[in-house]
Amino acid sequence: MARAWVRDGLQGASRISFPLHSIRSKERKMRNGILIKLLLPVAALLCGVQPGWAEDILIGHVSGYTGPVSKDANDLHLGAKIFFDNVNEKGGYEGRKFRIVTADDKYNPAETLRLVGAMIGKASALLPTTGSAGLLSVIKSGILDRASLPIVGAVPSPISSRVLQRNIFHFRAGDRDQITALTRQLVTVGYRDICIVMSENPFGLQAGDLAEKALAGHGAKADCKPIFKIAPSTDFSGVIAALKSHPQQAIIVFAPPKAVVETVVAIRQAGVRSPVYTLSYTDHQMLIDALGQRNAAGIGIVQVMPNLNKTILPLIRSFQDDYEKFGGTTQPPTYFNLEGYVSARLIYEAIRKSKDASAEGVRRGLEQMQNIDLGGFLLSFSPDNHTGSRFVDLSVITSSGRLIY
């Protein structure tokens, strides 16, 4: 049929003179082009991709959406989402929308490594990771030494992850900064006998070692240093026995947020009333929900982000506005929501800085962001410095369930 059509066309166009094989070649190209256009949507659906998504700027989030840090992962995601929702509503970046692609590593370091590797070449950046072991597995593998995929934030931030890495950018004060500030404060108020409770993971053990050395430098001691293993039903009997056999003026707990809450519950149920302190990774609302306002009152939490209630700060005001508009929840915002929000904003500002939405563009843009003010939160990056902030403050839960700084 096609050949007859070509012949008939030529008979009616005798003034045109060019070879028949040229017409057949053009006919094949036209037919193939039509076929490709028809099959593209089908192929996209088979691959799980919807038309138009190829133009989206993909932002990855590899985190423990199930397991002991699930709340942190979801809070970080929501914080980033509300920022990108606001940007997308205003047209995105040069007409391209931002889309977050999540991957659940189940708090398993091997899965973290595999999923981060799968994001290379696809995502322009990664939102904060959760879990020290997972981040360290990525660093030790070297996969990000050979590619461009900036990780913008890490929770927690053990000292071993703070060595300059090409693709890792920290915007929260690290464990060393937090522990230095906390131990200094405890010694200043007169505490000398302090118990350090640690989970048996890289973060807990490294934090415990840092705290012990910091206390010794102030003339204080930590003779009580119980370690516990995180499990679906954690056994705290060893922790309780150590606390009761070593009189202490204060207790510092180093563990993932959910484990911190479980530890404090076990301590209080055992009748141990010493003041408890922990780092910025634990949400104060989790402690209040588990203990009640009365029993949670007085617990100290190191903070590395601006006060959520300080709406005089432009950053907090815009965060609160976007949370109310795009959050889709009646739950109050958390500090991990704010961290996700800041991570997303840094990614966006890096793209604007470099004028390049690729992973390398984000990485390069971040290194160009020196002495920037996000609206009451100051950061500074450079090719030789990937730790943007060392801001640290100490907060205490009040009897009304609020945090005071």
Q: What is the pLDDT of residue 157?
A: 66
Residue 399 belongs to a domain:
no
Q: Are residues 321 and 358 in the same domain?
A: yes
Q: Are residues 61 and 99 in the same domain?
A: yes
Burial class (CB in 10 A: 0-12, 13-18, 19+), 133: middle
> From CA 334, how far away is CA 401, in angstroms rounded?
13
Residue in 179, 397, 130 with CA at minimum distance from that of residue 290: 397
Q: Are residues 72 and 148 in the same domain?
A: yes
Is the pLDDT assigned to residue 54 strictly greater than 70? no
Q: Are residues 10 and 85 in the same domain?
A: no
The CATH code of the domain that includes 225 is 3.40.50.2300
CA distances from 314 to 36, 306, 309, 374 (A): 50, 11, 12, 8
Q: Are residues 151 and 66 in the same domain?
A: yes
Q: Are residues 75 and 158 in the same domain?
A: yes
Residue 405 belongs to a domain:
no
> From CA 255, how far away is CA 239, in angstroms rounded?
13
Question: pLDDT, tens digit, for every residue of 66-95?
Answer: 988 899 999 999 999 999 999 999 999 999
Q: Are residues 232 and 154 in the same domain?
A: no
Is the pLDDT assigned to residue 195 strictly greater than 60? yes
Give the whole-number percent of the chain exceeding pLDDT 90: 74
Is the pLDDT assigned to residue 262 strictly greater than 80? yes
Q: Are residues 199 and 154 in the same domain?
A: no
Residue 322 belongs to a domain:
yes
Q: What is the pLDDT of residue 161?
A: 72
Question: pLDDT, tens digit, for every residue of 155-176?
Answer: 876 666 778 899 999 999 988 9
Q: Are residues 108 and 146 in the same domain?
A: yes
Residue 257 belongs to a domain:
yes
Residue 304 belongs to a domain:
no
Q: What is the pLDDT of residue 31?
A: 52
Is the pLDDT assigned to residue 24 strictly greater than 90? no
Q: How many structural domains does the chain have?
A: 3
Q: What is the pLDDT of residue 32?
A: 53
> From CA 25, how far away is CA 2, in angstroms rounded?
12
Q: Are residues 13 and 89 in the same domain?
A: no
Residue in 175, 187, 171 with CA at minimum distance from that of residue 219: 187
Q: Are residues 169 and 180 in the same domain?
A: no
Residue 197 belongs to a domain:
yes
Strand order through the sheet with 168-169: 98-104, 57-63, 125-126, 151-152, 168-169
Q: What is the pLDDT of residue 91?
A: 95
Give the whole-number percent of the chain exceeding pLDDT 70: 86
- pLDDT tier for residue 379 given thresholds of 50, 70 and 90: very high
Q: Indicate the residue type of 340.
A: G
Q: Which domain holds residue 61?
A: 55-173+310-390
Q: Are residues 35 and 98 in the same domain?
A: no
Q: What is the pLDDT of residue 131?
A: 84
> From CA 152, how far away is CA 129, in angstroms rounded?
8
Residue 297 belongs to a domain:
no
Residue 296 belongs to a domain:
no
